[in-house]
Amino acid sequence: KKYNFKDSKVIKEIDLLKNLHSWSAQGNLDPIVVEKAKGIYFWDSNGKKYFDMSSQLVNVNIGHGNMKVIEAIQEQAEKMTYMGPGFAVDVKSELASKLLDIAPKNMKKVFFTIGGADANENAIKMAKMFTGRDKIFSRYRSYHGATYGAANLTGEPRRFPAEPGIPGFIKFFDPYLYRSPVDFKDEEEACNYYLEQLTEQIIYEGRDSVAAIFLETVTGSNGVIIPPENYLKGVREICDEFGILMVCDEIMAGFGRTGEWFACDNWGVVPDLITFAKGITSGYLPLGGVLVSQDIADFFNDTTLMCGLTYSGHPMGCAAGIATLDVYQEEGLIKNSKLRGKVLGEELELLKEKHPSVGDVRYIGLFSAIELVKDKVSKEPLVPYGQDPGKIMPLILSKLIKQGFFTYTHENIIIVAPPLIIKEEEIKEAMQIMDRVLSEVDEMLK
């Protein structure tokens, strides 16, 4: 059968008829038919313009349509689209070298993957091989990917389809201070509490049984949860004490999102492994990977690295990655994230002051979240955890999107994470839309 795929109605109709969409009941979807994307904007088939205030899935950090990356992809396609992972290829050597230049200094080698989930899958295996131990710790409010192993790492409900799960995957609590069950005197007391709890849990699980602790350095889709000042340093010390590997999942938080190349740079903490994806190519092509420290790199000199992917180190992805890293550097985007992040933070604080529905705002660089509540004092979430029977959050999201503010929500949280090229005026203009929609949410509370 022949369809006219130039007709936006046909595009949408066939999309709904023949494509399965992620994380959705398929019955009542209403996808935007997108026609083009440039910079921090994209346009639908009716010519309506949207601010891309989540950088799609917090990956299009350099913005859409950057010609430097597009041309690098075109050049690579003409030269050589694919070569197997066993070969030495110029772009793979160059990207590894560029990455290691910007990564924390203890990082010595990289294993390239296709995306984030498989980066975590491989990091799990490396940690198990290196330590000879079985157990893997990760946190409840985390998302580490949707493949089976990564879903077992994940703590939030997106892990449930992988339940009852792989034995040895243990969850611990996040230092999520806004919703902490204990009324702490200050951040330091809270930090100590969570670190002591983690230590106790490791001892109960067996001092010599834990291979790795995985954490999103700054928790992303579960609400931009920023660790208290000494938390990551404390986790590092616990890992050293028990011979556990510290794995920072920087898939969302890496590549300038928090105002530093890697989020762990904000606290000067050096993990043993870093997983990355998303921002490495800004979504222009799929690519991810695992950075490993000297000790781990050395270990695999004599021990076989039992990891492999047909597309590990795909030349197209590597070419896109090199050009993307150049763009971050040439356009000063890491610094921009920090500078514009201040503006975004001020806007968010104003919203929190003004709107009864805003319980908390959290931000670091251009990575931020607005947490909605029924009541500021009781902090009761606008929708209960894991449930939204009244479809309130989709309603709020649709109001934002209708007014040209594209982003996504998770539980009772709205993510705001625009491309790192965004200008001050653009942040202010977009946040006016947020302000109007939050006024409507305030009304819903009455």
Binding residues vs ligand PLP (CB under 6 A): 57, 115-117, 120, 143-145, 216, 220-221, 249, 251-252, 277, 288
Give one word for 389, left, alpha or beta, with left for phi > 0 and alpha for psi -120 to 50.
alpha
Nearer Cβ to ligand PLP (251/344): 251
**Residues 108, 114, 115, 121: is their CA dihedral positive or negative?**
negative
Nearer Cβ to ligand PLP (141/355): 141
Task: Confirm if 213 and 235 have CB atoms less than 8 A apart.
Answer: yes
Residue 206: name the closest of 273, 136, 150, 102 by CA: 136
Nearer Cβ to ligand PLP (63/116): 116
For residue 253, the minimal CB distance to ligand PLP (Å) is 7
Q: What does the CA dihedral 138, 182, 227, 143 come to, rounded to 10 degrees?
A: 40
Nearer Cβ to ligand PLP (252/290): 252
Nearer Cβ to ligand PLP (12/410): 410
Closest-approach residue to ligand PLP (CB): 116
Nearer Cβ to ligand PLP (277/420): 277
For residue 222, the minimal CB distance to ligand PLP (Å) is 9
For residue 282, the minimal CB distance to ligand PLP (Å) is 13
Residue 158 is classified by DSSP as G
Residue 109: name the closest of 119, 117, 99 by CA: 99
Residue 226 is classified by DSSP as P
For residue 96, the minimal CB distance to ligand PLP (Å) is 19
Strand partners, 274: 248, 291
C-alpha to C-alpha distances, 148 to 31, 129, 165, nearest whole angstrom: 27, 19, 8
Q: Identify whether 167 is preceded by a cis peptide bond (ω within 30 of 0).
A: no
For residue 407, the minimal CB distance to ligand PLP (Å) is 14
Nearer Cβ to ligand PLP (225/441): 225
For residue 73, the minimal CB distance to ligand PLP (Å) is 19
Q: Which two tokens stand for residue 320?
A: 């896109």
For residue 155, the minimal CB distance to ligand PLP (Å) is 11
For residue 24, the minimal CB distance to ligand PLP (Å) is 15
Between CA 250 and CA 261 the distance in angstroms is 10
For residue 162, the minimal CB distance to ligand PLP (Å) is 14
Residue 344: name the closest of 262, 255, 426 by CA: 426
For residue 58, the minimal CB distance to ligand PLP (Å) is 7
Three-class SS of residue 285? Answer: coil
Nearer Cβ to ligand PLP (198/415): 415
Extended strands (E) in 129-250: 135-139, 169-172, 210-216, 245-249
Task: Confirm if 119 and 276 have CB atoms less than 8 A apart.
Answer: yes
Q: Which two tokens stand for residue 271?
A: 């993990």
Nearer Cβ to ligand PLP (224/252): 252
Nearer Cβ to ligand PLP (220/381): 220
Report DSSP letters for 353-392, one per residue: HH-TTEEEEEEETTEEEEEEBS-TTT--BSS-TT--TT-H
